[in-house]
Structure 1
Amino acid sequence: MPLVDIPGSKSITARALFLAAAADGVTTLVRPLRSDDTEGFAEGLVRLGYRVGRAPDAWRIDGRPQGPAVTEADVYCRDGATTARFLPTLAAAGHGTYRFDASAQMRRRPLAPLSRALRDLGVDLVHEQAEGHHPLRIAANGVTGGDVTLDAGQSSQYLTALLLLGPLTREGLRITVTDLVSEPYVEITTAMMAAFGADVHREGDTYVVAPGGYRATTYAVEPDASTASYFFAAAALTGTEVTVPGLGTGALQGDLGFVDVLRRMGARVDVAEDRTTVSGTGELRGLTVNMRDISDTMPTLAAIAPFASGPVRIEDVANTRVKECDRLEACAENLRRLGVRVTTGPDWIEIEPGVPTTGAEVKTFGDHRIVMSFAVAGLRVPGITFDDPGCVRKTFPGFHDAFAELRRGMSGMGPVN
Structure 2
Amino acid sequence: MAAVDIPGSKSITARALFLAAAADGVTTLVRPLRSDDTEGFAEGLTRLGYRVGRTPDAWHVDGRPQGPAAPEADVYCRDGATTARFLPTLAAAGHGTYRFDASAQMRRRPLLPLTRALRDLGVDVRHEGPEGHHPLTVEAAGVDGGEVVLDAGQSSQYLTALLLLGPLTRKGLRITVTDLVSVPYVEITMAMMRAFGAEVRREGDAFVVPPGGYRATTYAVEPDASTASYFFAAAALTGGEVTVQGLGSGALQGDLGFVDVLRRMGARVDVGSDRTTVAGTGELRGLTVNMRDISDTMPTLAAIAPFASGPVRIEDVANTRVKECDRLDACAENLRRLGVRVETGPDWIEIHPGAAPVGAEIKTYGDHRIVMSFAVTGLRAPGISFDDPGCVRKTFPGFHEAFAAAGVELPRG
TM-score under structure 1 normalisation? Answer: 0.97
> What is the alpha-carbon root mean square deviation over aligned residues?
1.0
Distance in 1 between residues matched to 2:112 and 2:104, nearest whole Å: 17
Question: SS state of the match for residue 171, structure 1?
Answer: coil
Distance in 1 between residues matched to 2:82 and 2:2, nearest whole Å: 32
Distance in 1 between residues matched to 2:372 and 2:326, nearest whole Å: 16
Distance in 1 between residues matched to 2:56 and 2:160, nearest whole Å: 27
What's 1:171 paired with? 171
What's 2:231 paired with? 231
Q: Unaligned stretches of 5+ in structure 2?
A: none
Question: SS state of the match for residue 366, structure 2?
Answer: coil
What's 1:55 paired with? 55
What's 1:322 paired with? 322
What's 2:140 paired with? 140
Aligned amino acid, residue 240 of structure 2: T
Aligned amino acid, residue 10 of structure 2: K
Q: CA deviation at 1:319?
A: 0.2
Question: SS state of the match for residue 78, structure 2?
Answer: coil
**Alpha carbons 2:267, 2:284 under 8 Å: kept:** yes
Aligned amino acid, residue 109 of structure 1: R
Aligned amino acid, residue 222 of structure 1: E
Question: SS state of the match for residue 122, structure 1?
Answer: coil
What's 1:123 paired with? 123
What's 2:25 paired with? 25
Percent of aligned pairs with the same amino acid: 87
User: Matches of residues 20-99 of structure 1 in structure 2 within 5 Å?
Assistant: 20-99=20-99
Runs (4+) off by over 3 Å: none
Aligned amino acid, residue 282 of structure 1: G
What's 1:112 paired with? 112
Distance in 1 between residues matched to 2:228 and 2:386, nearest whole Å: 20
Distance in 2 between residues matched to 1:345 and 1:357, nearest whole Å: 22
User: Matches of residues 160-239 of structure 1 in structure 2 within 5 Å?
Assistant: 160-239=160-239
Aligned amino acid, residue 54 of structure 1: R
Count of aligned residue pairs for this structure pair: 410
Deviations 1:143-193 (A, max 9, x none): 000000000000000000000000000000000000000000000000000
Q: CA deviation at 1:357?
A: 4.3
Deviations 1:46-73 (A, max 9, x none): 0000000011210000000000001100
Distance in 2 between residues matched to 1:407 and 1:340, nearest whole Å: 26
What's 2:273 paired with? 273
What's 2:244 paired with? 244
What's 2:311 paired with? 311
What's 1:407 paired with? 407
Structure 1 residues 305 and 408, CA, compared in 2 at 3 Å: closer, same or farther?
closer
Deviations 1:347-387 (A, max 9, x none): 00000012534310000000000000000001111111000
Deviations 1:196-216 (A, max 9, x none): 000000000000001000000
Question: SS state of the match for residue 407, structure 1?
Answer: coil
Question: SS state of the match for residue 397, structure 1?
Answer: coil
**Alpha carbons 2:306, 2:357 under 8 Å: kept:** no
What's 1:379 paired with? 379
Q: CA deviation at 1:409?
A: 9.9
What's 1:414 paired with? none
Aligned amino acid, residue 310 of structure 2: G
Question: SS state of the match for residue 300, structure 2?
Answer: helix
Distance in 1 between residues matched to 2:352 and 2:339, nearest whole Å: 10
Distance in 1 between residues matched to 2:138 and 2:10, nearest whole Å: 26
Q: Unaligned stretches of 5+ in structure 1?
A: 411-417
**Alpha carbons 1:307, 1:355 under 8 Å: kept:** no
Question: SS state of the match for residue 105, structure 2?
Answer: helix
Distance in 2 between residues matched to 1:408 and 1:146, nearest whole Å: 53
Deviations 1:71-105 (A, max 9, x none): 10000000000000000000000000000000000
Q: CA deviation at 1:408?
A: 4.7
**Alpha carbons 2:379, 2:408 under 8 Å: kept:** no
Structure 1 residues 338 and 93, CA, compared in 2 at 3 Å: closer, same or farther?
same
